[in-house]
């Protein structure tokens, strides 16, 4: 049968290729980061802000950690098996950045959680400064991955890429059964 303009091949929960799935995750990270910036800049905190806080909190407590786990637990070992010194250096840098992000992320999640409650106050300068550090690190990190990591993933042998996609989909079914 001829496929007519269906775009990239998809499986049940996303694109069928690893880089496409990671790129989708990065788009969602940037979307929720933008919402977090708007929340931090708001001078008031009403029901609309609480709804945004719930979406941001939900994304960063559920999906964001899964993305980091995919990279640390599936992508990094697959690339490490290729035994390329430059890939190893890149993986070390990205792993260090994940650890730094983890510390800032834990602090922010607590604040976003408080913002889901009625009576929450607008952002403080301390929150804005914390978010600015997270924002700068995430933005640089995503750009580094897209520039340096994605092409290396795309060059992995097809069976390795398919195994990663299968494991990514399984992790989401376990965590989030639909």
Minimum Å distance from CB 142 to Fe ion?
6
Residue 140 burial (CB < 10 Å; 0-12/13-18/19+)?
exposed
Nearest by Cα to 54 from 32, 72, 76: 32
Minimum Å distance from CB 22 to Fe ion?
6
Identify residues 129-148 at the interface with Fe ion (CB under 5 A).
145
Minimum Å distance from CB 78 to Fe ion?
14
Give the nearer residue to Fe ion in terms of CB position, either 74 or 131: 74
Task: Name the β-bridge partners of 14.
Answer: 11
Give the nearer residue to Fe ion in terms of CB position, either 71 or 135: 71
Give the nearer residue to Fe ion in terms of CB position, either 53 or 75: 75
Q: Where are the alpha helices (DSSP H) in 42-157?
A: 47-58, 64-70, 76-80, 85-115, 125-144, 150-154
The greatest distance separating any two alpha carbons of the chain, rounded to the nearest whole angstrom, comes to 59
71 binds Fe ion (CB under 5 A): yes
Q: Contact positions toward Fe ion, by CB under 5 A? A: 71, 145
């Amino acid at each position: 049968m001829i496929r007519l303009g269906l775009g990239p091949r998809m499986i049940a929960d996303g694109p069928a290729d690893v880089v496409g799935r990671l790129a989708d995750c990065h788009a969602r990270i940037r979307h929720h980061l933008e919402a977090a910036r708007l929340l931090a800049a708001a001078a008031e905190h009403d029901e609309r802000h609480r709804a945004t806080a719930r979406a941001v909190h939900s994304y960063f407590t559920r999906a964001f950690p899964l993305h980091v786990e995919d990279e640390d637990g599936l992508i990094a070992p697959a690339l490490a098996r290729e035994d390329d010194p430059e890939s190893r250096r890149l993986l070390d840098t990205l792993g260090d950045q994940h650890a730094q992000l983890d510390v800032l992320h834990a602090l922010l999640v607590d604040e976003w959680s408080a913002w889901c409650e009625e009576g929450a106050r607008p952002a403080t300068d301390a929150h804005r400064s914390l978010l600015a550090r997270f924002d700068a690190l995430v933005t640089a990190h995503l750009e580094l991955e897209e520039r340096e990591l994605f092409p290396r993933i795309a060059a992995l042998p097809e069976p390795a890429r398919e195994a990663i996609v299968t494991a990514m989909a399984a992790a989401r079914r376990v965590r989030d059964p639909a």
